[in-house]
A and B are shown apart, each in its own frame.
Chain A
């Protein structure tokens, strides 16, 4: 089985990289881009039957820093 983990900076945590992308889009003439947040996607190739709780533990302990980041697990 596969799972995809989406890691994003929490709301309220300034994302300087996302801001730089937003500025660049504006400079290229893409109007109306009010905000950009940049995160990461981690794909996991897992043994069948790996529980979502187990994946959440991986997120809590390594894949995300929950001080600044939130995560969402998508099993495929």
Chain B
């Protein structure tokens, strides 16, 4: 089981994500955004949180055009796993790998605190360690986490059981309380909350740990 964590200029959760993956027994390599290929045998790509390219133009917009993203898209298209957290989720929507977009928080403020989430589905390698409907606590830290998509897309996401996480107490205005969504093949997950910041007892909570712990057992090779 091998993971590659992409490092953009301005990424700041890349090492945390790698630590959480390694702790779950997944061999993890950091990949610079100027690389045009992923390491041989990569099963999972982690797109980390942060402020890639200073959030210039729109959060994630410039990162979505970086050299490595072509390789990430090809990896996803051949059925590889991708996990995008926070800025990583924004980048995945900008690439089109996930539908919708993330707008400025409805309250206009940057929010950094642990929030309650409800697990929307256990039907993915990322959420199989949870029970659907289970309540967990995971930190958020973002200014632009207000998820939006058109009604048709939202109905489809819900109809296909692709809402991975919902906010218990919507902090940012996200439509239908959406905190994380899955791709059509359920192998790409984008989420604003940071599971890697709730993956060790030293973090004050370990509800994010199961997301990583379950991956090794569950991933099929792409």
A76 at the interface (CB under 8 A from B): no
A75 at the interface (CB under 8 A from B): no
Instruction: Determine how close the nearest CB of chain A comes to the CB of B147; give it in whole angstroms.
Output: 11
A16 touches B173 (CB 8 A): yes
What is the interface residue range for chain A against chain B?
Answer: 10 to 19
Question: Which A residues contact B (CB, under 8 angstroms)?
Answer: 9, 13-14, 16-17, 20, 61-63, 65, 67-68
Chain B residues, Cβ within 8 Å of A63:
57
Interface of B is mostly: loop
Say whether, besides A13-B148, A62-B65, A63-B57, A68 and B101 are in contact (CB < 8 Å). yes
Q: Offer 25 A-B interface pairs, CB within 8 angstroms, sorted by A.
A: A13-B148, A14-B103, A14-B106, A14-B173, A16-B107, A16-B146, A16-B173, A17-B104, A17-B108, A20-B108, A61-B65, A62-B57, A62-B61, A62-B65, A65-B58, A65-B61, A65-B94, A65-B101, A67-B93, A67-B100, A67-B101, A67-B148, A67-B149, A68-B101, A68-B148
Instruction: Determine how close the nearest CB of chain A comes to the CB of B144; give it in whole angstroms.
Output: 10
Given A16-B105, A16-B146, A68-B101, 9 other A-B contacts at CB below 8 A?
A: A13-B103, A14-B173, A16-B103, A61-B65, A62-B61, A63-B57, A65-B61, A67-B100, A67-B148
Instruction: Determine how close the nearest CB of chain B comes to the CB of A41; give it in whole angstroms.
Output: 13
In angstroms, Cα B65 to Cα A54, docked, is 17
Instruction: Determine how close the nearest CB of chain B comes to the CB of A55; give it in whole angstroms.
Output: 16
In angstroms, Cα B104 to Cα A61, docked, is 21
In angstroms, Cα B120 to Cα A4, docked, is 43
Instruction: Determine how close the nearest CB of chain A comes to the CB of B53; give it in whole angstroms.
Output: 12
Chain B residues, Cβ within 8 Å of A62:
57, 61, 65
Instruction: Determine how close the nearest CB of chain A comes to the CB of B178; give it in whole angstroms.
Output: 14
In angstroms, Cα B107 to Cα A61, docked, is 29
A16 touches B57 (CB 8 A): no
Instruction: Determine how close the nearest CB of chain A comes to the CB of B33; give it in whole angstroms.
Output: 16
Instruction: Determine how close the nearest CB of chain B comes to the CB of A63; give it in whole angstroms.
Output: 7
In angstroms, Cα B97 to Cα A67, docked, is 13
